[in-house]
Amino acid sequence: MKWMLLVFAFGTSMVRTGLAYDSLDDCVKAEQTMRSEYARVYNQWLEWAMANPKEADYPKSQPFYAKTHRRTNNWHLHTHRES
């Protein structure tokens, strides 16, 4: 049996990653890695946006990105078993 990692972009749109794993543990580890990477990139953008407010349209753009980031940090793992 295989486990496929599915992600919900912006909390609403399901994205099939095409990533399949032999065990649920491996699938969960991949999800945790993906979540950590997203948080790292978001924080990097936030730091840049605060340093370049005109270019980033910051703080006007902040509510959208913060909302997206909050949803991502509340991801629920969705798996699909393939036989």
Q: What is the pLDDT of residues 43-72, one digit of tens each?
A: 888 888 888 888 887 777 666 666 655 555
The parent domain of residue 37 ranges over: 2-74
Would you say residue 79 lies in a domain?
A: no
Per the listing, tokens 């036989």 go with 83
Between 78 and 3, the more confident residue is 3
* pLDDT higher than 90, residue 77: no
Q: How many domains does the chain have?
A: 1
Flag whether pLDDT at 17 surpasses 90.
no
Partnered with residue 79 across adjacent β-strands are 5
Closest to 72 (Cα-Cα) out of 35, 43, 37: 35
Q: Look up the pTM and report it.
A: 0.59
Would 31 be classed as within a structural domain?
yes
52-66: burial string, b at 16+ Cβ within 10 Å, e else: eeeebebeeebeeee
Q: Is residue 54 part of a domain?
A: yes
Q: What is the pLDDT of residue 39?
A: 84
The answer to the question of residue 46 being in a domain is yes
Q: Please indicate, yes or no, if residue 52 is contained in any of the structural domains.
A: yes
Residue 80 included in any domain: no
| Residues pairing with 21 in the sheet | 3
